[in-house]
Amino acid sequence: MDPVRVLAGIAALIAVTLLAGCGSGVKLTPADRGEFRSPAPTASQRADAAARAAALAAGLSDSDLVGQVLMPFAYGEDATKVSSAAATANREYAGVDTAAEMVEKYRLGGLILMNRSAGDPTASTNKTSNLTSPAQVRTFTDGLQAAAAKLPASVPMLIGTDQEYGVVNRLRDGIVQLPSALAFGAAGDPALTRGAWAAAGADLHAVGINVDFAPVADVVGPDGGFMGSRSYGSDPKAVSEQVSAAVQGLRDAGIAATLKHFPGHGHTSGDSHTELPALSQSADALAAGDLPPFTAGINAGADLVMSGHLDVRAIDPGVPASFSSHVLIDLLRGRLGFKGVVVSDAMNMAPAQKYPPGEAAVRALVAGNDLLLMPPDLAAAQRGLLDGLRTGQLPKARLVEAATRVLAVKLARAEYQQPELAGVNGAEGRAAAAKVSAAAVTILRGGCQGALVKGPVTVTASAGRDQQRAWLVDALRRRQVAVSSSGGAEVRLVGYGDDISDLRAGAAVTVSMDVPSLLGQARSPVLLATYSSTEASMSALADVLTGAAPAAGRSPLDVSGLPRSACAR
């Protein structure tokens, strides 16, 4: 039998499956499309994308197929012009000088953009910084797409980033800044969530990013665990509603959303960047407490699910979920019915580096991943996959299946019109983020009517919070509050990574800008949580402190000795 015809048949079957999954997205009419919603592809456009993906995959060479399933990083802030230091780093990583050359040499289907910032819990695997401003990112992504257009597949690249907002936030300047996921959980309004993520997604789309490795679908324990404010909370039902709304918002803007970290990183204390955390709960507990947000996100139309480097003891003990067919094929595809792209968590994280890069790439693909994120050695990963094809360790049909799924997502994204860069960080987008920030503010101790502080106010903050302090001071002064450098009623700001030593016993008000558990140890008569440290969150805080607005939020996590809210139901 002709192997080309066999592969074409396989690809066509995959395309039918992919098309069946495309219908789970949100269908919008002209009447309900908001400011940030792009017209969704029609059924015929989705059918065309799936058919073209199947035809493309069936006709690609082995090298081009392998390229479609790789999503590395690159050094430098431009596709074709980089510093000598960036060129040296790219040569060490991939044997080329620039990102554009990397696309050409490896026939890449995607690239991830990143940055490193203080306090980022994911910083250990982020080897470079590519993102500085909207204009710079748009120039960079345009250059990448120009390089991709010259490849045999001639389809747009997937260009992704981890724009979760909160503590994991790659592009912090010049675009709409949302509060943390935990703030959305405190606001508890899926309609606001969808609108805010649509606004943020429109900005990402405008700068040329078409995949967001968000939202986090992990349900956390009462104290927030390792994921902390990256999660929407501890209640599976409430988290499911938020995840579904975030996916819909990103899809409204033409962005491929990614659910992570499957099957759930929330009930672990370990950091999968440096170790293999164990999920010790039973299969029933996993199904009830961790999987619902992933199911909700899949039903909302998420294009990708990220496999976690997690030891799921109830399913495949000792094997990272990212390398387990029992987790990725039997559970995710079989039980949950996911038909999109499974993307590995970063392959340069410690659990994935148990194997040499080439072997890890083969194992991950065979286990059910379709896209391999951030291989630690790009050349070795490519060689491993090509060698796996030759030896039979990587079945050709598995590679065609993975590449077809990736191509289908890329072609579907191409049906959305890219917004103009001039509209980035517009007034309506900022207003959408401000609405959520205001709805999130929570009083855990103190009065519920009128101003919470009287007379002169002194704002203090723990180390590294100078910007937040300045924002709050400015916001209070705009509301005619006298702010002094000392001697006034102290408003104390604490945030991510702070502990009891950062509290001030004499503070009249203590405000948590991250997971609110620290408030359980604070002595202040007034305790508030914003869960986030954006300028919009500080402005909303000023409104509550001055009595100009109520604190309508409710903590998505338990705080020892305190109610979820002293005021809201």
Q: What SS3 string covers 452-464?
A: CCCCCEEEEECCC
- The verdict on 402 and 448 lying in the same domain is no
Q: Give percent of the chain above pLDDT 70.
A: 89
Q: How far apart are CA 529 and CA 440, in angstroms?
A: 8
- The verdict on 415 and 446 lying in the same domain is no
Q: How far apart are CA 12 and CA 504, in angstroms?
A: 64
| pLDDT at residue 517 tops 70 | yes
pLDDT at residue 18, rounded to an integer = 45
CB atoms within 10 A of CB 31: 5
What's the whole-number average pLDDT of the chain? 90
pLDDT at residue 24, rounded to an integer = 33
SS3 of residue 371 by DSSP: strand
Report pLDDT digits (tens) over 142-183: 999 999 999 998 899 999 999 999 999 999 999 999 999 999
| pLDDT at residue 5 tops 50 | no
410 domain residue, yes or no: yes
Residue 260 dihedral angles phi and psi, to the nearest 5°: -145, 155
460 forms bridges with which residues in the sheet? 492
434 domain residue, yes or no: no
Confidence grade of residue 13 (pLDDT, cut at 50, 70, 90) = very low
555 domain residue, yes or no: no
Strand extents, DSSP E, 88-200: 110-112, 158-161, 163-165, 168-169
- The verdict on 90 and 137 lying in the same domain is yes
Stated as kind and residue range, the H or E segment containing 305 is strand 304-307
- Active-site annotation holder among 345, 377, 498, 514: 345
Residue 292 dihedral angles phi and psi, to the nearest 5°: -55, -45
- The verdict on 446 and 320 lying in the same domain is no
| pLDDT at residue 21 tops 80 | no
What end-to-end distance do the CA atoms of the chain give, in Å? Answer: 68
| Cis-peptide into 236, omega within 30 deg | no
Tell whether the torsion through CA atoms of 111, 49, 147 and 384 is positive or negative. positive
| pLDDT at residue 120 tops 70 | no
Stated as kind and residue range, the H or E segment containing 186 is helix 181-187
Asked whether 494 and 536 are in contact (CB, 8 A), the reply is: no
Report pLDDT digits (tens) over 240-257: 999 999 999 999 999 999
For 471-499, b/e burial (b = at least 16 CB within 10 A) is bbbebbeeeebebeeeebbbbbbbbbebe
- Active-site annotation holder among 261, 265, 267, 273: 273
Domain containing 511 — which CATH number? 3.40.50
- The verdict on 447 and 396 lying in the same domain is no
Q: How far apart are CA 213 and CA 250, in angstroms?
A: 11
- 345 an active-site residue? yes
- The verdict on 538 and 404 lying in the same domain is no
Report pLDDT digits (tens) over 349-397: 988 889 999 999 999 999 999 999 999 999 999 999 999 999 999 999 9
pLDDT at residue 39, rounded to an integer = 59
Asked whether 73 and 128 are in contact (CB, 8 A), the reply is: yes
Pairing of strands 158-161, 163-165: unpaired
Q: Which residue range is the domain that position 245 belongs to?
A: 3-422
Tell me the angle at which helices 427-440 and 535-545 cross, rounded to the nearest 10 degrees.
50
| pLDDT at residue 404 tops 60 | yes
Q: How far apart are CA 495 and CA 308, in angstroms?
A: 27
Q: What total number of domains does the chain contain? A: 2
- The verdict on 380 and 451 lying in the same domain is no
Domain containing 144 — which CATH number? 3.20.20.300
| pLDDT at residue 547 tops 90 | yes
| pLDDT at residue 194 tops 70 | yes
- The verdict on 375 and 446 lying in the same domain is no
- 273 an active-site residue? yes
Residue 547 burial by Cβ neighbours in a 10 Å radius (0-12, 13-18, 19+) = middle
pLDDT at residue 3, rounded to an integer = 37
| pLDDT at residue 9 tops 70 | no
pLDDT at residue 40, rounded to an integer = 60
559 domain residue, yes or no: no
Confidence grade of residue 209 (pLDDT, cut at 50, 70, 90) = very high
- The verdict on 395 and 509 lying in the same domain is no
Report pLDDT digits (tens) over 64-77: 999 999 999 999 99
392 domain residue, yes or no: yes
Confidence grade of residue 127 (pLDDT, cut at 50, 70, 90) = confident
Asked whether 218 and 231 are in contact (CB, 8 A), the reply is: yes
550 domain residue, yes or no: no
Report pLDDT digits (tens) over 296-310: 999 999 999 999 999
541 domain residue, yes or no: yes
| pLDDT at residue 35 tops 60 | no
Asked whether 425 and 458 are in contact (CB, 8 A), the reply is: no
- The verdict on 321 and 231 lying in the same domain is yes
Q: Give me the mean pLDDT over the 31-55 stretch.
A: 65
Asked whether 148 and 156 are in contact (CB, 8 A), the reply is: yes
359 domain residue, yes or no: yes
- The verdict on 464 and 371 lying in the same domain is no
Cα Dmax for the chain:
86
Range of weakest confidence among 118-122, 299-303, 401-405: 118-122
Q: How far apart are CA 259 and CA 307, in angstroms?
A: 9
Q: Give percent of the chain above pLDDT 90.
A: 80
| pLDDT at residue 433 tops 60 | yes
- The verdict on 404 and 452 lying in the same domain is no
492 forms bridges with which residues in the sheet? 460, 510
Taking Cα atoms as reference points, which of 310, 348, 354, 355 lies closest to residue 332?
310
Confidence grade of residue 10 (pLDDT, cut at 50, 70, 90) = very low
